[in-house]
Amino acid sequence: MEIPSKVMKFRFHILVTLILSLTLFSLFLLAPSFLSLLAYFWPLFLSTALFLLAVLLFANTSLPSPDKAAEGLLSYVAGHHDLDSSSLKSD
C-alpha cells in the first residue's frame, strides 16, 4: 500500500511528463523534416547571408568619416541645429 500512495504523491509530475512526451512525439511525427524546410527557405537564407556579408565587407573597407561632418549631421538629425538669423530674414 505504500507504493500507490507515493505514486499519487507524484501524479502531477507524471501527468506533465506524459503530456510533454506525447507533445514532443507528435511534433516529431507531424512536423516537416529539416531538409524540406531547408529546401523551402534556401533563398531567404542565401539572401540574408549575402546581405550580412556585404555589411561586414563595407564596414571593414570603408574609411571612417571625419568627426566634424559626422557631428554636424548627427546634431542636425537630432534637432539641435542652430538657425542662422540671416537665413530667416525675408527680402
- pLDDT one-digit tens code per residue, 33-62: 889 999 999 999 999 999 999 999 998 887
21: containing domain = 1-31
pLDDT, residue 60, reads 86
> Is residue 88 in some structural domain?
no
pLDDT, residue 73, reads 75
The answer to whether residues 24 and 5 belong to one domain is yes
> Is residue 91 in some structural domain?
no
> Is residue 16 in some structural domain?
yes
* Gap between the Cα atoms of 82 and 20, Å rounded: 63
